Amino acid sequence: ETAVFQTPNYHVTQVGNEVSFNCKQTLGHDTMYWYKQDSKKLLKIMFSYNNKQLIVNETVPRRFSPQSSDKAHLNLRIKSVEPEDSAVYLCASSLGAEQFFGPGTRLTVL
């Protein structure tokens, strides 16, 4: 099956903890992305990686860092979570113009 896969589906943690989310795509795409969807359902770009190189960083807090081992994987690490980090994090990939999304990881920070 070719798609965008994300783990975990859900994660509940406490303020100050470190979390890491995984994303893998089997579509053979060159570019991967992380988006954040807040409680108002607005989707915003966080990072874009093209063939392991960061090409866009939409001024997210420094506690967020993307990590890529190869062009099929793009993980997201949050060093010390804050309450406002509670959201759904969506991973996507693209080869040309069209983007394909994973199912998302819902983070709840207590």
Partner 1 sequence: GQQVQQSPASLVLQEGENAELQCNFSSTATQLQWFYQSPGGSLVSLLSNPSGTKHTGRLTSTTVTKERRSSLHISSSQTTDSGTYLCAIEMSNYNVLYFGSGTKLTVEP
Residues in contact with partner 1 by the rule CB under 8 A: 31, 33, 35, 40-45, 48, 50, 55-56, 58, 88, 90, 92, 94, 97-101, 103-104, 106
- E strands, the chain, are 4-7, 10-13, 19-25, 31-37, 43-50, 53-57, 64-67, 75-78, 87-94, 99-101, 105-109
Collapse the DSSP code of 84 into the 3-class scheme (helix H, G, I; strand E, B; otherwise coil) and give the result: helix
- Shortest spacing between CB 54 and partner 1, in angstroms: 11
Nearer to partner 1, 22 or 103 (CB): 103
- Shortest spacing between CB 83 and partner 1, in angstroms: 20
Collapse the DSSP code of 83 into the 3-class scheme (helix H, G, I; strand E, B; otherwise coil) and give the result: helix
Nearer to partner 1, 45 or 72 (CB): 45
Nearer to partner 1, 13 or 99 (CB): 99
What φ, ψ does residue 18 adopt, rounded to 5°?
-100, 140
